[in-house]
Amino acid sequence: MGPSILIAQNLSKVVPSAEGDLTILHELSLDLKQGDSLAIVGASGSGKSTLLGLLAGLDLPSAGTVTLAGNDLGSLDEDRRAQVRAEHVGFVFQSFQLLDSLSALENVMLPLELDDRPDAREHARSLLERVGLGQRLSHLPRQLSGGEQQRVAIARAFAADPAVLFADEPTGNLDSHTGERISDLLFELNQERGTTLVLVTHDERLAKRCRRLIHLEAGRLVTPLEP
Ligand SMILES: Nc1ncnc2c1ncn2[C@@H]1O[C@H](COP(=O)(O)OP(=O)(O)OP(=O)(O)O)[C@@H](O)[C@H]1O
Ligand SMILES: [Mg+2]
């Protein structure tokens, strides 16, 4: 395993609410090495998506620091954080966030084109084939099933060969066979390219395949259960 790629120190997130300030994440720390895999598990509302967003630099903590590929995210402005994300991070959102007016192929090509890759189309096509969507290239998101949209989102997240792939419930909308295929693919990339995986999941089989596992309860880390 390589050097540290993702370090969180005493991360907290406090949000205002009608009943006063609500702490949704309490002083969480972790250190992830390049090529590692981490499952984040816990009940609905325990803070998993919040943590993922902070680790990926999509959101800023109320206190604490995140260092991603050597960059202290809290010290960067929005634009610079976006650059760090574009360079090092793939993200699969719980709600996919595909662009509605672009086809499956175009959605996956987008990060490659932003990266000036001359083989954007071919590479995007091969990724979509790998997630089993070779026959759906020209479909718009609304013409795809939920599980198919999820697979496009996964292909898009892989596209720029990120150092860290963050995925929020990557198998959440998939039947168990397709889920297994996607899970195989995630771990193939982890092996082949040393992509660090950070996965939020309710899928026990997927969680068990990760080398490390943390369990959140009401925003706190409960005893880490090593798989
Ligand atoms: N911006 C916000 N303002 C107020 N409360 C928030 C905000 N974001 C999240 N929360 C609250 O923080 C808690 C954690 O939310 P989060 O989305 O991280 O949960 P989760 O573990 O991902 O749940 P699920 O499994 O249902 O996706 C929830 O109770 C949620 O209502
Ligand atoms: Mg969530």
**For residue 170, how many C-alpha atoms fall within 13 Å in the half-sphere facing its CB?**
35
CA 88 to centroid of ligand 2, rounded, Å: 22
Going from the Cα of 48 to the center of ligand 2, the distance in angstroms, rounded, reads 6
Task: Please report the atom of ligand 1 found closest to the CA of residue 94.
Answer: 27
* Ligand 1 mutation pick, 11, 19, 46, max ligand atoms within 8 A of CB: 46
- pLDDT value at position 49? 95
List the residue whose alpha carbon is closest to atom 5 of ligand 1.
Answer: 15
Q: Whose CA is nearest to atom 19 of ligand 1?
A: 45
CA within 13 Å, CB half, 180: 3
| C-alpha span between 219 and 28 (Å, rounded) | 9
- What pLDDT is recorded for position 224? 57
Residue 179 near residue 203, CB atoms below 8 Å = yes
What distance in angstroms lies between residue 178's CA and the mean position of ligand 1's atoms?
27
Please report, in tens digits, the pLDDT of each residue of the chain (227 residues total).
779 999 999 999 999 999 999 999 999 999 999 999 999 999 999 999 999 999 999 999 999 999 999 999 999 999 999 999 999 999 998 888 899 999 999 999 999 998 899 999 999 999 999 999 999 999 999 999 988 999 999 999 999 889 999 999 999 888 888 889 889 989 998 999 899 999 999 999 999 999 999 999 999 999 755 54
Of the CA atoms within 13 Å of residue 72, those in its CB half-sphere come to: 5
Cβ-in-10-Å burial (0-12, 13-18, 19+) of 175 comes to: exposed
CA 218 distance to own-chain centroid: 21
Please name which ligand lies nearest the alpha carbon of 40: 1
Q: Rounded CA gap, 150 and 25, in Å? A: 27
What pLDDT was estimated at residue 145? 92
Domains with residue ranges and CATH for the chain: 36-59+74-223 (3.40.50.300)
Residue 173 is predicted with a pLDDT of 82
pTM: 0.92
**Who surrounds ion ligand 2 at CB < 5 A?**
49
Number of residues that make up the chain: 227
Per-residue pLDDT, 227: 44
Please give the structure tokens belonging to residue 175: 């039947």
